[in-house]
């Protein structure tokens, strides 16, 4: 069974389009995240939700809008895509921090977004 | 500011050699957590280990071992008798605990690409 899944795995689109990436976790975790990995492999957090509430918004352009319909899902919608948005986007989930030493983040397989 | 430095950009070894990946971190927190993740060529991020700041015991898991030293702010990772399947990018990360305990924020190093040649 897949723990953290993302769709689609690959996304190729034109500049200016709007696209969404979906994430689901079946681990029963309360906390979910979006990370961006750029072409140099640098990983940076974008957003974090706890129990459907936005906790971290790491100065991401407001063209990016996360939505958490329930604890198991965290979607990412991107408006007016730009060339610089090309990257791999990872969803992750975890138990609350400090949970009996078992609060590591589990990552989805990533979505490779290419903006032409 | 919180920061993680992985000074080794790329390392190339021959199979069966031992290899150590360095990680140095900066934090003002007295309680913090350190992680290592592996990213193989297939692209997924695989959790390897989590270490508390108050537990300086070294850890060994099969061919993997981790050396945590608070005095030098380092959390190094050694692979013994490396194998081709160990080829991957390895990330060290520091957990920033804010936000009322509701969430973590992982601060990643830039990663070390390990290439194990047959």
**Cα–Cα distance between B33 and B27 in angstroms, integer?**
10
Residue B102's nearest CA partner among A99, A92, A89 is A99
Region A93-102: mean pLDDT is 73
pLDDT level of residue B57 (50, 70, 90 thresholds): confident
Residue A2 has pLDDT above 80, yes or no: no
| Facing residue for B43 by CB, picked from A44, A88, A101 | A88
Burial of B79 (0-12, 13-18, 19+ CB in 10 A): buried
Shortest distance, CA B2 to any CA of chain A (angstroms): 13
pLDDT at res. A99: 61
**Cα–Cα distance between B118 and B115 in angstroms, integer?**
10
pLDDT at res. A72: 95
A20-29, A100-109, B71-80, B108-117: lowest mean pLDDT where? A100-109
Binary contact (A56, B110; C-beta < 8 A): no
Shortest distance, CA B32 to any CA of chain A (angstroms): 10
| Facing residue for B103 by CB, picked from A31, A104, A112 | A31
Binary contact (B105, A31; C-beta < 8 A): no
pLDDT at res. B62: 93
| Facing residue for B105 by CB, picked from A41, A45, A98 | A45
- CA torsion angle for A49, A100, A3, A62 (degrees, to 10)? 20
Pick the residue of B104, B110, B112 with the most A CBs within 10 A to test the interface with A by mutation: B104
Region B74-83: mean pLDDT is 97
pLDDT at res. B31: 84
Region A18-47: mean pLDDT is 95
Region B38-48: mean pLDDT is 95
Evaluate whether A93 touches A32 at the Cβ level (below 8 Å): yes
């Amino acid at each position: 069974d897949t723990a953290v899944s993302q769709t689609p795995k690959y996304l190729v689109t034109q500049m200016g389009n709007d696209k969404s990436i979906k994430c689901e976790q079946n681990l029963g975790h309360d906390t979910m995240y979006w990370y961006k990995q750029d072409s140099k492999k640098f990983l940076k957090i974008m957003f974090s939700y706890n129990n459907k509430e936005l906790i971290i918004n790491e100065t991401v352009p407001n063209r990016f809008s996360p939505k958490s319909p329930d604890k198991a899902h965290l979607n990412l919608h991107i408006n007016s895509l730009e060339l610089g948005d090309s990257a791999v986007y990872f969803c992750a989930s975890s138990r609350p921090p400090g949970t009996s030493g078992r609060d590591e983040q589990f990552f989805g397989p990533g979505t490779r977004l290419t903006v032409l | 500011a919180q920061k993680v430095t992985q000074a080794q950009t790329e390392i190339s070894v021959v199979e069966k050699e031992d290899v150590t990946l360095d990680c140095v971190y900066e934090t003002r927190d007295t309680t913090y957590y350190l992680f290592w993740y592996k990213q193989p060529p297939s692209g997924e991020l695989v959790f390897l280990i989590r270490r508390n700041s108050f537990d300086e015991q070294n850890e060994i898991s099969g061919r993997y071992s981790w050396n945590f030293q608070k005095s030098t702010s380092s959390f190094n990772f050694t692979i013994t008798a490396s194998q081709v399947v160990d080829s991957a990018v390895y990330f060290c990360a520091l957990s920033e605990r804010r936000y009322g305990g509701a969430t973590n924020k992982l601060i990643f190093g830039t990663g070390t690409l390990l290439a194990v040649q047959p």
